[in-house]
Homo-oligomer: A and B are copies of this chain.
Amino acid sequence: MKNTFGQSVSVTIYGESHGQAIGVVLDGLAPGISVDEDFIQSQLTLRRPSGSISTARQEPDPFQILSGVYEGKTTGTPISIMIPNSQTRSKDYSATRALARPGHADYTAYCKYHGFEDFRGGGHFSGRITAGLVAGGAIAISALKAKNILIGTHIKSCGNIQDREFQNLEEDIQALNQKSFAVLDEAKASEMHEKIIQTAERKDSIGGILETAVLNLPAGIGEPWFDTVEGLLSHALFSIPAVKGVQFGNAFDMVNGFGSEYNDNFRMQNNSVITETNHNAGINGGITNGMPILFQCAVKPTPSIYQAQNTVDFFKNENAVLEIKGRHDPAIIHRARVVVDSITALVLCDILAGRFGTDWLA
C-alpha cells in the first residue's frame, strides 16, 4: 500500500500540484459523526500559502465532499473529499524540467518514476497534497474533540527563536487552536514573523520545531511492538515533506540524564494513576498511560530558495545552475502545524477504532 495509511481508519491521498484535482478518501470512521464543513474550510485555510509571509501561491482551496456524508453526518462509508486545482501555471516549469531543485524530490522522483512523473510544481510531491490530509484530518479532529480528546501544536522554535514552554496544556491548546500563527508567546510570534520577512528578503529560508500535545487519550492503547503509539505517529508524520526528525518528550536531551531523573514515578491523584513527571510523553512500552502525549517534529528549512544553486541536469547528466523565479514561501513551518494536527488525529482515530471497535468514535 503506498498512498494509503491506517488499518481500522485509513486515509488515501492522490493528486499532483498541477493536475485536475487533489483529494482524500477517508475510510472506516464510525457512522454518525458530525461533519463541520466550516471547520474543514478553516483548517484548509490555515494550511494554504497566504498573507504577508507565504505568498508563493494563493489557492482558495474550495473542497467538495463527494461521498460518505449524508445530512451533515458521516455514513460510515468512505468519505471522499476533492479539492480542484485552479491555478495550474504549467508553462513555468518546462524550462527547468531536468534541473533537480536541491532539497526537493525532483531527482529522486525521476529515479523512481523514470521520467513519467508529472513534474509540474512538484507534482505528487508538492506540499499541496497535504491539503487532502488536512481536509480528512479536520473530520478526525472533530470526532476526537467530541470525545474530549484534544490536540494542539505550537511552533516551539523558528529560525532559532524559541516560544515559551507549554504551561497549562488545556488552556494552551485552546489558545493555539484560535491562532493562525501558532505561537504561545505573542512577542516571540512577532520576532519569528520578523525573522521570516528578513529571510525572505535574503531569498533564503528557515525551519523550526513543532511541538504537539494530545490530552485525554485513554490509557492502554497502542501496541508493545511495531504499532507503538510512537511508531505509528512517526510513520505518518514523516510524510510531511520537511519533517526529518520526531522525538517524544525531549528525547534527544533526555539521553544525557540519568534514569533516576527521567523515569516518571507513578502516583495516585484523585483515585487515578498519574506520573509525577512526563518525560516519557504519556507512553510506556508503546502504550498510553493516560498522561498527555507530547512530541516534536523537526522541520528543516524550506528547500525552496530563490538564490542561484548548483545542481545537475539529470537528463543530460551534467552540472548546471538553477535559479528559481517566483514568489517566496520562506518558512512553511507555520502551515505545517495544521498538517501535524491532522495526521495526529487520523492516526489516533485509527488506533482507537482498532482498539475499541468501529463505533467507538460515534
| A168 to B: closest C-beta gap in Å | 24
Query: Given the complex, which residues of B lie within 8 Å of A266, measured CB to CB?
Result: 100, 102, 107, 310-312
Asked if residues A19 and B66 are in contact (CB atoms below 8 Å), the reply is yes
Chain B residue nearest to A5 in the complex (CB): B226
Q: CA–CA, A176 to B6, complex, Å?
A: 37
Do A254 and B4 touch across chains, with their CB atoms under 8 A apart?
A: no
Complex-state Cα separation, A125 to B284, whole angstroms: 10
Indicate the size class of the contact surface on chain A. Answer: 35 or more
Given A248-B244, A317-B273, A20 and B64 contact (CB-CB distance below 8 Å): yes
Given contacts A258-B205, A298-B254, contact A123 B246 (CB under 8 A): no
Stretch with Cβ within 8 A of B (4 or more), from A47-55, A114-122, A136-144: A114-122
Q: Does A159 contact B (CB under 8 A)?
A: yes
Query: Does A268 interact with chain B (Cβ within 8 Å)?
Result: yes
What separation, in Å, do the CA atoms of A118 and B77 have in the docked complex? 9
Most B CB atoms within 10 A — which of A78, A254, A355?
Answer: A78
Interface residues of A in 218-271 (CB under 8 A from B): 219-228, 230-232, 234-239, 241, 243-249, 251-252, 254-268, 271
Q: A276 contacts B2, CB within 8 Å?
A: no
Residues 157-196 of A at the B interface (beta carbon under 8 Å):
157, 159-160
In the assembled complex, how far is the CB of residue A132 from the closest CB belonging to chain B, in whole angstroms?
A: 10
A241 nearest CB across to chain B (Å): 7
Q: Let me know if A238 and B286 touch, CB within 8 A.
A: yes
Complex-state Cα separation, A306 to B122, whole angstroms: 54
Bound Cα distance A66, B23 (Å): 9
Within 8 A of B (CB), among A123-162: 123-125, 129, 157, 159-160
Interface flags, A322-358, vs B, CB<8A=1, else 0:
0000000010000000000000000000000011111
For residue A209, which residues in chain B have a CB less than 8 angstroms away from its CB?
A: 252, 255
Most chain B CB inside 10 Å of its own CB: which residue of A80, A114, A299: A80
Q: Which residues from B are CB-within-8-Å of A357?
A: 354-357, 360
CA distance A73 to B6 in the complex (A): 29
A283-316 interface code vs B (CB 8 A; 1 in, 0 out)? 1111111100000101111111101011110100
> What separation, in Å, do the CA atoms of A22 and B66 have in the docked complex?
7
Q: How far is the CA of A8 from the CA of B75 in the complex (A)?
A: 22
Which A residues from 1 to 35 make CB contacts under 8 A with B?
1-8, 10, 12-16, 19-23, 25, 27-28, 31-32
Cβ–Cβ < 8 Å partners of A249 in chain B: 244
Contact A123 B78 (CB under 8 A): no
* Chain B residues near A159 (CB-CB < 8 A): 256
Report chain B residues within 8 Å CB of A314. Answer: 273
Cβ contacts A to B, 9 pairs, < 8 Å:
A20-B67, A75-B118, A77-B124, A111-B219, A226-B239, A257-B301, A260-B309, A266-B311, A271-B317
In order of increasing CB-CB distance, the 9 nearest A-B pairs are: A105-B285, A245-B247, A245-B251, A111-B220, A205-B259, A357-B357, A244-B251, A31-B116, A235-B235
